[in-house]
Structure 1
Amino acid sequence: MGRHFRPARVAQATMELMAANLVHDTPRWYKAVKMIPPAEILTRPYPVQHTAPSPHARRPRNLFKPTHMVYPEDELRRNFFRDHPWELARPRMILELDGKDARYVDWSTGVRQPGMPLSGECVVQRQLWLMENVPDVTKESAYDMARREFYELRQLEDIQRRIAVEEARMVGAYFGKSTLQYGMDIEDKEYERWKKWAGAEINKMEAERQKAYTNVVDLPDTPDLEEELLKEAL
């Protein structure tokens, strides 16, 4: 195998073909490659060291460890989900369409965005926009403003959901047991299981107590010593 320099001399070859009228249209890349020709050195050059390395210097640690990246939204997310842990229980769709979903939202209009379900991320992005674009707004005040919008929309969703359920039941719909009813059924089953276990434990303790009394041997009655001495004296 040898070293091939033909790809590096493509601009020179194209110029010769154009001079010979074999190529009539100038390629679009010709000027760029002619101004900045590719390197003909197959090895990567060493970096230029401005100062001589010290023989007593220690080797740098964590040279190949990736840099820890911190975003301003990270702290805002921790604060929100620390105050609203049940928001993590709501299912979310994290799949993006084309990777440009951030261009389709405008957080200046509020927490609610078209095509995006209401979640804690809406509060975080709204709070960040208020902090960066509204003057004299602190992190706490922006958090309160975004939460107020979020609570109003959550309450509106709950009202709409209850009304939809009531309207559906009026026309004969059946939704089965609610979450509270399922929890009560599980609690009743656990209570019945505990009652059986407690009854078995009581019976076991009673059997052990009866067994302890049956092992006692009844001794014959003996006359009192004082009575015997009294009789002898008489």
Structure 2
Amino acid sequence: MGRHFRPARVAQATKELMAANLVHDTPRWYKAVNMIPPAEILTRPYPVQHTTPNPHARRPRNLFKPTRMVYPEDELRRDFFRDHPWELARPRMILELDGKDARYLDWSKGLRQPGMPLSGECVVQRQLWLMENVPNMTKEAAYDAARREFYELRQLEDIQRRIAVEEARMVGAYFGKSTLQYGMDIEDKEYERWKKWAAVEINKMEVEKQKAYTNVVDVPNNPVIEEELLNDVL
């Protein structure tokens, strides 16, 4: 497309038109553009140098590369989900209002927060609160304290779930097969498939063994023939 500097010289052209009495009314933007003129180059300018640059030094790399954003919760999340990978398999609602929903909750009261289900994020926020508000609380100690609360609540959820299932069965509810029963069914099917495969393989081995013995010729016990065979070998 090329470089066009005509838009950058609008103020100069207007000034010349006003001097020639071709423009009678001063535009409203004229004073502002004269005070802050547009840039004359089409590339991004270098930042202001507070020290005298060294002409022999190399030009810095990645000068305009955006800074990587790092939050303290990132490392805490990485540690938790590394130790508890199955927590990632639990369904979770990730819709938030402004991305700062965790800051609106009071993590001094524990992991249970109104409107937020128990998850690994609760452990991360609780650990961060302990690290920032409890004196002499290290990262490892805060992690152990948050995990202890998390395990107790998970155990309580399992107990409540088992009691609810037992109560429902007492009044005639039927939940179908359990996870263990589904696993046993899959194992039985695999075992039956393996037995059929093993029977076919054993049959093939027997056939190969019989083929190996069909080419053997039985030699009668004749001393003359044995002596001739021995002479041939010698």
Bin of the TM-score, shorter chain as denominator length: 0.7 to 0.9
RMSD after superposition:
2.9
Q: 1:216 to 1:57 in 2, by over 3 A?
A: same
Q: CA deviation at 1:148?
A: 1.7
Aligned to 2:72: 72
Paired residue for 1:199? 199
Secondary structure class of the residue paired with 2:197: helix
Equivalent residue number for residue 128 of structure 1: 128
Is the CA contact 2:102–2:125 (under 8 Å) kept in the aligned structure 1?
Answer: no
Percentage identity across paired residues of the two chains = 80
Once residues 131 and 187 of structure 2 are traced to their aligned partners in structure 1, the CA distance between those partners, rounded to angstroms, is 47
* Correspondence list, 1:171-186, <5 A: 171-186=171-186
Q: For residues 103 and 54 of structure 1, what CA distance do their matches in structure 2 show? A: 46
Query: What is the CA–CA distance in structure 2 between the aligned matches of 1:80 and 1:193, rounded to whole Å?
Result: 40
User: Which ranges in structure 2 are unaligned for 5 or more consecutive residues?
Assistant: 1-5, 15-26, 228-234
Note the 1:94-173 alignment, pairs <5 A. Answer: 94-173=94-173
Distance in 2 of aligned mates of 1:158 and 1:44: 69
Distance, in Å, in 2 between the alignment partners of 1:88 and 1:95 is: 16
1:41 to 2:37 alignment: yes
Task: Give the Cα–Cα distance (whole angstroms) in 1 for the partners of residues 223 and 211 of structure 2.
Answer: 30
If the length of structure 2 is used for normalisation, what is the TM-score?
0.74
Deviation at 1:136? Answer: 2.2
> What is the one-letter code of the residue matched to 1:41?
P
Q: Deviations over 1:70-90 (max 9, x none)?
A: 222222222222322221221
Contact 1:127–1:142 (Cα < 8 Å) also in 2: yes
Query: In the TM superposition, what is the alpha-carbon distance from 1:57 to its structure 2 partner?
Result: 2.0
Tell me whether 218-227 or 105-114 shows the greater mean CA deviation. Answer: 218-227
Instruction: Write the distance in 2 (CA, Å) between the matches of 1:226 and 1:109.
Output: 100
TM-score normalized with structure 1 length: 0.74
Alignment-mate amino acid for residue 92 of structure 1 = R
Q: Is the 8 A contact 1:107 1:129 kept in 2?
A: yes
Gaps of at least 5 residues in structure 1 are 13-36, 228-234
